[in-house]
């Protein structure tokens, strides 16, 4: 299958930039390895040691050391305020616990050893480090840390802080992380003040290990010990970190302001030129999107990434747009789809029958939704890797069959997966009304086959139990979408309902598995690996924020294991397609909708050089035009 045009553009850009970067990379690998690597390391391993400014499994790094990024304006001015909205409320700045509701942009001030850039889907680069060292076996990796990185309190970051943070996550992090990753680390050694080594177990997936430990944030060990803060408890302030922005003001549940740190250590790095340009970033909280939209129209906040097709199609004809104060734009989105959909709670016995799940899915008439509710703005997701060549298409290839056949032979998969096309959402023949009668008849037959028989009152029962389905939701925006589905299900004989709760209840019930059907975004990245176990693996199913459907499939687990050890891009692609095919065949996911553009509205005082293919990133590379901002203020655009 041809890659999505944006993915092709990324590949072309990687080829172009990699040509100029190749001498940097090869110079690092060949010329520096024998010189930089410690004699103790070489003697111990007897392997050639690679020393580089970054790491990539497939192809080459897009950028050389100390780059200026292609999608920024390196001369962008600093200053001004960027403001956006969030829904609901919050009472914590800790995303790594099940306690509390985390605030928007909670991790904006956190930086990690390695970083990635929005035009390189495969590479990771030294950020808090200057170089990395690793042998061909990748049994270990050494990070040579920068000696000029400072925490917000002015203290210098050291290897001790990195070791502390890494071990903190393994000790107190969320269960789904600890259960997957704790088995992969053998030891962490501090070699000197700014040099740290991670040693991996034999079980550790070698393709993932460098980027995994390189994703370790830098938290201040002294601050944690002084404050007694725990990673598994809610926190009313962010952890002491090193990033460009830190918390300035907070009104719990209502407003957050982050401010650019004037003493930020990273200002002088070329890689940060043209980035982190706003003086302050403000988040305003609203109970629902309608109230938030009215606030945007009157200038309470200044940037809106519109996620309502109704608002986008009908709402942007107000004075601030008409007089040119607000720009309304569609910006190309070349990233992999978000995989947004409804998911079933597979711990519920009634949903363990795939016939029931398929029947309920048939009652979601996307064609009617798109025509009537979405103004034709959306497409329906088909894959967890939409817009990429990792998506399964048609019948299995020979390579996929080699993966799937043994699982069929062992009884872990139905043999039909070997000959049928990849599962796609049902397409309704009626876009003029919410209920497709043909789909209703098909769904009725499926429930009859599953033993859920309609009684004299029209309700379907099995063993005396009524088939009930409740959609758990927090946003009033979804009322107009879910209510027609509820009515369709009632026509099918299902006791269906929409239960809307506040954000805090929604978060807790979703985490605890106290629901029938709930929203989830399950889209994946260009280089899937061990993180798949957190989304789809059995081991994390009972306590995972990323696997809300509680999927436990031995076949899925086996394919994930094969993806993790894939050594070539071809093998990775084939195995991921096989996984995508199996996941879609499980029918735990009712795909919702997606679009290939970012629909944004903002007050005409923000500028950007270009939109990188893999992310919108307004907080990363946009900037404030002071002259335009003052003109808007003088004209009365803001309250």
Query: pLDDT tens digits, residue range 344-392?
Result: 999 999 999 999 999 999 999 999 999 999 999 999 999 999 999 999 9
What is the distance between the alpha carbons of residues 592 and 380, in angstroms, rounded to a whole number? 6
Q: Considering the chain, what percentage of its residues have pLDDT values greater than 70?
A: 93
Within 13 A of 21's CA, how many CA atoms are on the CB side?
24
Please, which residues have CB within 8 angstroms of residue 237's CB and are 6 or more apart in sequence? Answer: 93, 247, 250
Q: What is the DSSP letter of 112?
A: B
Q: Residue 177 pLDDT > 90, yes or no? A: no
Query: 367-371, 598-602, 635-639 — which is least confidently predicted?
Result: 635-639
Token readout for 305 is 């990434």
Given a cut of 90, whether residue 263 has pLDDT beyond it is: yes
Cα 575 to Cα 107, 406, 420, distances in angstroms: 33, 14, 17
Task: Report the chain's mean pLDDT, rounded to a whole number.
Answer: 91
Across residues 313-340, what is the average pLDDT? Answer: 94
Average pLDDT of the residues in 49-76: 96
10 Å CB burial of residue 63 (0-12, 13-18, 19+) is buried
In order, the DSSP letters of 321-360 are HHTTSEEEEEEE--SPP--EEEEE-TTSGGGGSHHHHHHH
Can you point out the beta strands (E) in 481-605? 495-500, 517-521, 589-591, 597-603
What pLDDT, on the 0 to 100 scale, is given for residue 639? 67
Euclidean distance between CA atoms 271 and 258, whole angstroms = 22
Average pLDDT over residues 7-32: 37
Note the pLDDT of residue 52. 98
DSSP 38: -
- At residue 505, the pLDDT reads 92
Q: Where in the chain is the domain with CATH 3.40.190.10?
A: 5-66+110-227, 245-334+596-635
Nearest to 588 by CA among 639, 634, 522, 491: 522
User: What is the gyration radius of the CA atoms in the chain, in angstroms?
Assistant: 26
List the one residue out of 70, 62, 12 whose CA is nearest residue 621.
70
Tell me, which fold does domain 340-591 have in CATH? Dipeptide-binding Protein; domain 3 (3.10.105)
Tens of pLDDT, residues 508-525 = 899 889 999 999 999 999
pLDDT tens-place string over residues 412-434? 999 999 999 999 999 998 999 99
CA dist., res. 382 & res. 390, Å (int): 12
Query: For residues 196 and 144, what is the distance between their CA atoms, to the nearest angstrom?
Result: 7
pLDDT for res 504: 85
Is residue 10 predicted with pLDDT exceeding 50? no
Contact 321, 328 (CB under 8 A): yes
The predicted pLDDT at position 18 comes to 37
Are 363 and 482 in contact by the 8 Å Cβ rule? The answer is no
Predicted confidence at residue 282, as pLDDT, reads 98
Question: Is-contact 226 239, C-beta < 8 A?
Answer: no
**pLDDT, tens digit (0-9, with 9 covering 90-100), for 520-543:** 999 999 999 999 998 999 987 887
pLDDT band (50, 70, 90) for residue 178: confident
Average pLDDT over residues 181-202: 96
- The whole-angstrom separation of Cα 336 and Cα 352 is 29
Q: What is the pLDDT of residue 550?
A: 96
In whole angstroms, give the CA distance from residue 46 to residue 60: 25
Residue bearing the bigger pLDDT, 496 or 16? 496
Q: Which CATH number fits domain 5-66+110-227: 3.40.605.10, 3.40.50.720, 3.20.20.80, 3.40.190.10?
A: 3.40.190.10
Residue 546 pLDDT: 86
Pick the range with the lowest mean pLDDT from 91-100, 157-166, 379-388. Answer: 91-100
Q: What tokens does 95 get?
A: 């995303």
- Structure confidence at residue 180 (pLDDT): 79
Can you state the angle between helices 437-449 and 479-492, rounded to 10 degrees? 60
Check if the beta carbon of residue 329 is closer than 8 Å to that of residue 119.
Answer: no
Q: CATH number for the 245-334+596-635 domain, one of 3.40.190.10, 3.40.1210.10, 3.90.1150.10, 3.40.50.800?
A: 3.40.190.10
- How far apart, in whole angstroms, are the C-alpha atoms of residue 212 and residue 189? 16
């Amino acid at each position: 299958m041809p890659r999505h045009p944006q993915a092709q553009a990324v590949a072309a850009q990687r080829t172009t930039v990699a040509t100029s970067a190749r001498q940097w990379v090869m110079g690092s690998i060949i010329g520096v390895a024998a010189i930089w690597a410690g004699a103790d390391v070489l003697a111990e391993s007897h392997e050639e040691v690679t020393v580089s400014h970054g790491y990539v499994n497939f192809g080459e790094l897009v950028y050389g050391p100390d780059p200026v990024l292609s999608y920024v304006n390196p001369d962008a001015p600093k200053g001004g305020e960027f403001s956006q909205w969030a829904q609901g409320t919050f009472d914590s700045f800790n995303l790594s616990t099940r306690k509390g509701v985390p605030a928007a942009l909670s991790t904006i001030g956190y930086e990690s050893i390695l970083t990635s850039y929005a035009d390189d889907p495969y590479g990771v680069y030294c950020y808090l480090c200057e170089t990395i060292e690793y042998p061909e076996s990748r049994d270990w990796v050494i990070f040579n840390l920068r000696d000029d990185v400072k925490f917000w309190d002015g203290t210098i970051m050291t290897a001790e802080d990195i070791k502390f943070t890494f071990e903190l996550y393994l000790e107190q992090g969320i269960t789904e992380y600890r259960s997957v990753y704790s088995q992969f680390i053998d030891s962490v050694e501090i070699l000197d003040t700014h040099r740290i080594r991670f040693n991996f177990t034999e079980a550790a997936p070698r393709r993932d290990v460098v980027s995994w430990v390189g994703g370790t944030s830098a938290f201040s060990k002294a601050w944690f010990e002084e404050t007694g803060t725990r990673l598994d408890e809610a926190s009313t302030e962010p952890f002491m970190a090193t990033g460009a922005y830190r918390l300035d003001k907070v009104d719990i549940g209502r407003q957050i302001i982050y401010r650019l740190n004037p003493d930020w250590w990273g200002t002088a790095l070329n890689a940060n030129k043209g980035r982190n340009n706003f003086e302050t970033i403000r988040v305003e909280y609203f109970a629902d999107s309608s109230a938030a939209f009215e606030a945007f129209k009157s200038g309470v906040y200044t940037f809106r990434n519109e996620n309502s097709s109704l608002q986008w199609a009908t709402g942007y004809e107000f004075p601030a747009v008409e007089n040119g104060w607000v720009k309304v734009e569609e910006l190309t989105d070349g990233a992999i789809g978000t995989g947004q959909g409804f998911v079933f709670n597979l711990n519920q016995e009634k949903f363990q029958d795939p016939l029931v799940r398929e029947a309920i899915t048939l009652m979601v008439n996307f064609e009617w939704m798109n025509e009537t509710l979405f103004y034709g703005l959306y497409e329906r997701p088909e894959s967890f890797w939409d817009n990429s060549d990792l998506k399964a298409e048609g019948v299995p290839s020979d390579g996929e069959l080699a993966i799937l056949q043994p699982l069929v032979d062992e009884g872990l998969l139905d043999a039909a997966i070997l000959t049928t096309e990849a599962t796609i959402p049902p397409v309704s023949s009626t876009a003029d009304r919410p209920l497709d009668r043909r789909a209703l008849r098909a769904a009725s037959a499926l429930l009859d086959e599953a033993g859920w028989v309609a009684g004299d009152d029209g309700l379907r029962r099995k063993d005396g139990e009524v088939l009930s389905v409740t959609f758990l939701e927090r946003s009033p925006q979804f009322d107009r979408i879910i209510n027609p589905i509820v009515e369709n299900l009632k026509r099918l004989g299902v006791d269906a309902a929409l239960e809307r709760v506040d954000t805090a209840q929604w978060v807790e019930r979703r985490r605890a598995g106290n629901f029938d059907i709930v929203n989830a975004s399950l889209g994946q990245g260009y280089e899937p690996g061990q993180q798949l176990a957190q989304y789809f693996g059995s081991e994390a199913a009972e306590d995972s924020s990323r696997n809300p459907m509680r999927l436990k499939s031995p076949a899925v687990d086996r394919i994930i294991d094969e993806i993790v050890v894939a050594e070539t891009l071809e093998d990775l692609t084939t195995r991921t397609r096989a996984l995508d095919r199996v996941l879609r065949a499980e029918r735990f996911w009712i795909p919702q909708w997606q679009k290939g553009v970012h629909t944004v509205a903002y007050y005409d005082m923000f500028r950007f050089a270009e939109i990188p293919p893999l992310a919108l990133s307004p907080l990363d590379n946009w900037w404030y035009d002071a002259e335009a901002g003052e003109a808007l203020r003088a004209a009365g655009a803001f309250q």
